[in-house]
Each structure stands twice: as C-alpha cells, then as structure tokens.
A and B are shown apart, each in its own frame.
Chain A
Amino acid sequence: MSDQTNTEWPLWEVFYQPKDGKPFEHAGSVHAPDSEMALQNARDTYARRNEGISLWVVPSDQIVASTPEDVGPFFDPANDKAYRHPQFYSVPRAVKKRK
C-alpha cells in the first residue's frame, strides 16, 4: 500500500461556528485537492442546512492528537481529584441569573 496507488484527494477536517461568538465545533471531514475546494466541499457537505455562519478547514495530517496509550497518563489523574471541580462553591444568585 504505497502512496503511489493512492489517488484520493487529501483529507481535511471541517469545523463550523453555529452562531456569532460560539466556539467552532467539529463537523466531520472532506476530501479536496486544495484549501479553496476543501472550503467549498465543506460548505456542500456540512453547511447546507443552516448549520452555521463560518467554516474552518484544516489538513487532517496537521492535527496532533493524543493516542489511546495516553488515556492513562492524560486523563486518569482527574478521577480522584473531585476538588478540582467547581461544584463545592455556591454560586451567587446574581451570577446564576445571568445564565
């Protein structure tokens, strides 16, 4: 399985912003020959039903991800440290109201 037999376009990850001020969310991925076409393909695949107001596309191979082996060292330490969660503090009424 060498790269020479792979005639598929490169893969791009697509992120969309649902509303002004909201964080971008991952929508999925598309194949495209370059960034402009990736943006257009993302629009056609993920943004044709009013999903958002802005799109990002990122070459998938540019994303650095944690591996399954990282699960222990990365995430386990949080399990027994409940004090890191903020639920022990009572939230002032004025702050609650603002939600």
Chain B
Amino acid sequence: MSTLDTIPKTKKEALVEILLRLADDRIVHGHRLSEWAGHGPELEEDLALANVALDMIGHASSLYSYAAELEGKEDEDHYAYFRDDIEFKNIAMLELPRGDFAFTIARQFLFSAFSYFLYEKLIETTDDEQFKGMLSKHLKEIKYHLRHSREWVLRLGDGTEESHKRMQEAFNEIWMYTGELFDLDDADQVAIEHKVYVDVSTFHDQWKNLVHETIEEGTLTVPDSEQYMFSGARKGRHTEHLGRLLAEMQFLRRSYPDATWK
C-alpha cells in the first residue's frame, strides 16, 4: 500500500502509514543535518550536529524496519533508498536546504519541540507494544535535541547583533512551514481511531507556549502565524529541494545495489 492518497483501512495499514510518516520526517531531517559534518561552526558543535543526525537516522531506521516487518518487505532500505520523492511523506520544513547555523537551529528547535509532545502523547495512547517501546527509547534522545537547540536559540537570539539578526531571519523564513506540523488528514484520523496516532491539536497550545516563551526569552519576535502556511508534503507535494536531497542520498544504493560495508 502507501501509494498516494490511499486512506488506510485496517489498524495495520494505519500503523504502517504513521511509521512511514515519522520515519520519512526523520531520515530527511537526519540527512540535512549530516550535511553539517565538517562544516560546523566549532568542532564541538560539529560533533553535536552529527550526533543528532545519527540519532535521527537511527530513529528512522527502526521505524522503517517495523513498517517492513508489517508489510512483508525485505528491510528498511526499501523505503529509504527505493522510493521517489513523490512517495516520501515527510513535511516540507525538514527538506529545506540546511541554510546557516541559525536556520538549522530554528528547524531543530521547532521540530524537536513538536516531536517531544507528540511522542509523550503517543506513548500514553498506543497499545502497540513494539511501537511504544521504540518511541520511549527515542524520546530520551529527543529531550536532548530539544535542550540543545533551545539553548542555542537563547544564545543566538540574545547574543551579538549579527546572531540576533540571523536567528530572527531564520524563524521568519521557516514560519510558513510550521503549519504542516499540526495538519491532520484522513489517514491520521484512521490512525487515531486505531490508537496508533494522536490528535496533534491536543498539544498545540503546549507547543506554542514553549516555542513562544523560548523565542521571547531569546529577545526575538514570534513571527505572524496568520500568514500563508505551506501544506501538502505528506501527500507527496514537496518543494523542489527534496528531489535533490534524495538524489544524493540514494544514488549509491541505486547505482550499486549489491554494495556492502567491508
């Protein structure tokens, strides 16, 4: 299954859809973060970003593996390397080019905050033990990503004139992509009925409070949420950036399908 606009019917189909959405978010985000390797502003931050990238790819890998198990596919590589951009279900925020350090931090912070509340609720809600175990393990790492990126928002926002300006520009630029975090579609509804997803609107206020408090504490201004919000990426309507990202991520595996680590 998991072709475009197919609405899952059974619990298993709904869970696969959710697993792929979560995993696609994380592999795309992880790949973007990995682009910092060797380019971090300081050696220590280079390591920190690489760590988060590896965490993201690790989360994606276990989510894909579970989806593969449920769908009877060979392994997680099927999803990561052999689907085209239109089949990826990640939100657009995560596929945008890495930008400068402030943009990377803005994205990390907004997404980690969202993941944190989502995982907490999902762990409470789901009755699928394997799924729950996975989420609980990943939540610990998400807490760290949130802490790390939040601290950077405060420091860049309330730092020098230049860092303040860049941090503000980063939030302004990314804001129209935040709407997608809280989009709910038919597939989500089915998943919610089967207790493999949660109504994200139930923690919208918590997310908003944390984000607003942090931005304001960093002496920055919260961008206007009434502006145009991008949506549709979960259904395959991506920005131009995803295709290029996948080209780089997938070419080796597709060109040399039998390649192995030596």
Contacts and interface: CB of A to CB of B under 8 A. Distances in A.
Interface of A: 9, 30-34, 36-37, 40-41, 43-45, 48
B1 interface: no
Given A41-B48, A44-B47, A45-B47, A36 B151 contact: yes
Given A31-B43, A37-B155, A41-B48, 15 more contacts: A9-B42, A30-B44, A31-B42, A32-B44, A36-B151, A37-B151, A40-B48, A40-B147, A40-B148, A41-B45, A44-B47, A44-B48, A44-B51, A45-B47, A48-B51
Give chain B's interface secondary structure class.
helix
Interface residues of B, number: 12
25 contacts: A9-B42, A30-B44, A31-B42, A31-B43, A32-B44, A33-B155, A34-B155, A36-B151, A37-B151, A37-B155, A40-B48, A40-B147, A40-B148, A40-B151, A41-B44, A41-B45, A41-B47, A41-B48, A43-B144, A44-B44, A44-B47, A44-B48, A44-B51, A45-B47, A48-B51
Contacts of A45: 44, 47
Contacts, number: 27
B152 to A, nearest CB: 8
Contacts of A30: 44
Nearest to A37: B151
